[in-house]
Amino acid sequence: MNLPKQLLLSVVLATLLLGASTPSVGEKAPEFALTSVEGKSVKLSDLASKAPVALVVLRGFPGYQCPFCQRQVQDFIQNSKAFAEAGIQVVFVYPGPPADLDTRANEFLAGKAFPKSFQMLLDPGYTFTKLYGLRWDEPRETAYPSTFLLDQRGIIFYAQTARLHNGRTTAASILGYFKSLGPAR
């Protein structure tokens, strides 16, 4: 095997062994199709073509409902009118083991006035989480909490990943950042 083929093979193997890298600002967000808690298939490209997207990755169901996720989602819900006025679609990704993930997601949403303009997508088996390089592969963990803002071409213009349970984005920080960009977003 010649050197270029060996190098290419090494890069492919390293990517497979280490997993995908987390997408960065300026990159096109990797395409995905996930199912909503209502059972509807949702593609990222379809969402992004309509309006900017705040893609919020939760820890999902690591065997219990995460209190940090609960607070973050409630914060976004309390600011749902401001997101709608800004023209931002809010999409939460709820990862976890496939067994009963939809039941767990609905438990998570219980008692919340979840806006019709928001979506909760399920990531059973961590397909999305691995694609985005966010798999927190430790006992009682699922994904690194993250937020990505995407424009209508699917290009990431804001990204934040927390490597701990806290350090998550707030609705105010996302809305403030979006507003600071002005009409040129």
pLDDT category at 139 given cuts 50, 70, 90 is confident
111: exposed, middle or buried (Cβ count in 10 Å: 0-12, 13-18, 19+)? exposed
Which two three-digit tokens encode residue 22?
């987390």
Share of the chain above pLDDT 90, in %: 70
pLDDT at residue 172 tops 70: yes
Tell me the H-state helices in the chain: 3-18, 44-50, 67-78, 80-86, 101-109, 127-131, 171-180
Task: Report domain extents, the chain.
Answer: 47-168
pLDDT category at 5 given cuts 50, 70, 90 is very low
What is the CATH code for 47-168? 3.40.30.10
Residue 167: per-residue pLDDT: 83
Using alpha carbons, select from 91, 104, 81 the residue that is nearest to residue 132.
91
| Mean pLDDT across 156-180 | 90
Q: What's the chain's average pLDDT?
A: 87
| Mean pLDDT across 132-140 | 91
Q: How far apart are CA 124 and CA 86, in angstroms?
A: 31
- The model carries a pTM of 0.86
Residue 13: per-residue pLDDT: 37
| Mean pLDDT across 18-26 | 82
Please write the tens of the pLDDT for every residue from 53-92.
999 999 988 888 999 999 999 999 999 999 999 999 999 9
| Mean pLDDT across 44-53 | 95
Please write the tens of the pLDDT for every residue from 91-113.
999 999 999 999 999 999 998 88
pLDDT at residue 17 tops 80: no
